[in-house]
Structure 1
Amino acid sequence: MTTHSAYLRRIAVAAIAASALGLAGCDDTTTEQKKNAESSTHASGEKGATQETVVVTSTRTISRSNTTTAPQQAAQLHSGAPESSTSILGTPDTSDKQQQPDHGALVPIGIRVASHDTFDRIVIDLEGTGTPGWASQLTTEPTQLTSGEVITFNGTQALLLNITGTLYPFELGIKDPNLNADIDPTSTGVVTEVRSLGTFEGSSQFLIGLDRTHPYSIQSLSNPNRLVIDIQH
């Protein structure tokens, strides 16, 4: 009986030892799985954080780009503002002036005249594309571009202006505009007359009557296209 009891106790101890080893193995597996899971979670978190940073950086870049572009567009849309200036554009003198057109396909559509403290301004509005050219001359005997005949005018000196790079109105599908400005000599400083002499072979001719010889400047402005002639008093 004693021998049999001792045998049973050894079996029981062996079973308990085996169970303990099994539990230890389970704990090791569980610990390893937890470590793997934590490592995977940590790696996923880092990737997510990296993607989020890229998105934020991209959004900020677009925002800066939009902020920079808007003022540039606004500046381009208002590039014609100098016309309203109360000072002469360019450097006036009495010499003949010439400028070549740049792909000009333009039609004169209107004339505006205004007087300022130190100068008179004539603005010739243009419809079409490209940049106009011009040739100008102060003379006491202006001649017609097409016929060469001497033109009578109001005043003692004439500024003869040929705008080049121009078309006939029908070539742009517009009606013939009224290009003869009514000038009241009492409301201007030195300009006595502004008259269109017509268009011929890519050149539109204008006559500006003056009370005497004056320095002048010519400037081309865009948005919209126009030619600005300033006559110094």
Structure 2
Amino acid sequence: MHARLRLAVPALAVSLALVSGCAQEGGSDTASSSGTAPSSEGAAASQTSAAESSAPASGTPAGEFPGDAEPDTETASDDARLTVTTVRVAAQDGFDRVVFELGGTGTPGWDVRYVTDPTEPGRGEPVQLEGGAALQVGITGAGYPYDTGVEEFSSPGTLTAAGTAAVTEVDFLATFEGTTTAFVGTRTEAPFRVYLLQDPLRVVVEVAHAG
């Protein structure tokens, strides 16, 4: 009799575990069907944020922005033939971020600096921006879409984002003689930094908030 009781207790525990597991699965299905699952837009935003949060270590004390207002340049690889496919702007803690996603081959270079008279490459037309300063972003190693097979980003107007304290707007122009140019309007000539991220390939420009 005692032997049967010892066997019955584990069997009861297994039965309870199975019932509990079924109840949890049922709850998950109910939450999804009730419309409480995150929207596709929200999910995409979370994935983008997670991927772009892997910025290089600054090597500076916490709270200190790892950049300055001097020109930042990098050389493209010899085989670079790249086209900007997407541009994103977002406010972060202590700085604003502008991301240029690229498709094609090779590794891009860049020339990012503050300019006093922003003008459109090739045409020489002045570029009007909101704010007190203009940060010129030149991405080198660029190719035209018919060379790279990648559709180039375009926008009917300038790009903005809610909550930005340094960046006022981004004016994406186009590619001319191997360089893709955009202008980032900023409130002041604030410190900035530029770096590269992979998978997907992105040139990231960050501008510090004042103070």
Q: TM-score range by the shorter chain?
A: 0.5 to 0.7
Match runs of 1:103-182 below 5 Å = 103-179=79-155, 182=159
Summarize the Cα distance change of 1:159–1:115 in structure 2 as closer, same or farther, 3 Å threshold: same
Q: State the alpha-carbon separation in 2 of the partners of residues 152 and 196 from structure 1.
A: 12
Conservation of the 8 A alpha-carbon contact between 1:88 and 1:230? no
Q: Which among 168, 192, 199 is matched to residue 192 of structure 1?
A: 168
1:97 paired residue number: 72
Conservation of the 8 A alpha-carbon contact between 1:111 and 1:181? no
1:209 paired residue number: 185
Aligned partner letter, 2:106: G
Aligned partner letter, 1:193: E
Match runs of 1:2-13 below 5 Å = none
Q: Cα offset for 1:183?
A: 0.8
**1:231 and 2:207 are equivalent in the alignment:** yes
**For 1:187, what is the secondary structure of its paired residue?**
coil
Q: Cα offset for 1:139?
A: 2.2
**1:219 and 2:188 are equivalent in the alignment:** no
Match runs of 1:77-88 below 5 Å = 83-85=52-54
**For 2:181, what is the secondary structure of its paired residue?**
strand
TM-score for the superposition, normalised by structure 1: 0.60
Q: Deviations over 1:155-188 (max 9, x none)?
A: 110100110001111222333432555314x521
Summarize the Cα distance change of 1:166–1:158 in structure 2 as closer, same or farther, 3 Å threshold: same
Conservation of the 8 A alpha-carbon contact between 2:83 and 2:150? no
Conservation of the 8 A alpha-carbon contact between 1:113 and 1:123? yes
Summarize the Cα distance change of 1:174–1:119 in structure 2 as closer, same or farther, 3 Å threshold: same
Conservation of the 8 A alpha-carbon contact between 2:84 and 2:152? no
**What are structure 2's unaligned runs of at least 5 residues?**
1-49, 60-65
Aligned partner letter, 2:97: R
Q: State the alpha-carbon separation in 2 of the partners of residues 87 and 155 from structure 1.
A: 28
Q: Cα offset for 1:224?
A: 1.2
Aligned partner letter, 1:183: T
**For 1:95, what is the secondary structure of its paired residue?**
coil
**What are structure 1's unaligned runs of at least 5 residues?**
1-80
Conservation of the 8 A alpha-carbon contact between 1:160 and 1:206? yes
Greater per-residue helix proportion: 1
How many pairs are equivalent?
A: 153
Summarize the Cα distance change of 1:88–1:209 in structure 2 as closer, same or farther, 3 Å threshold: farther
**For 2:80, what is the secondary structure of its paired residue?**
strand
Q: State the alpha-carbon separation in 1 of the partners of residues 58 and 89 from structure 2.
A: 15
**For 2:154, what is the secondary structure of its paired residue?**
coil
**For 2:106, what is the secondary structure of its paired residue?**
strand
Aligned partner letter, 1:122: V
TM-score for the superposition, normalised by structure 2: 0.65
Aligned partner letter, 1:207: F
Q: Give the RMSD, CA atoms, in angstroms.
A: 2.4
1:183 paired residue number: 160
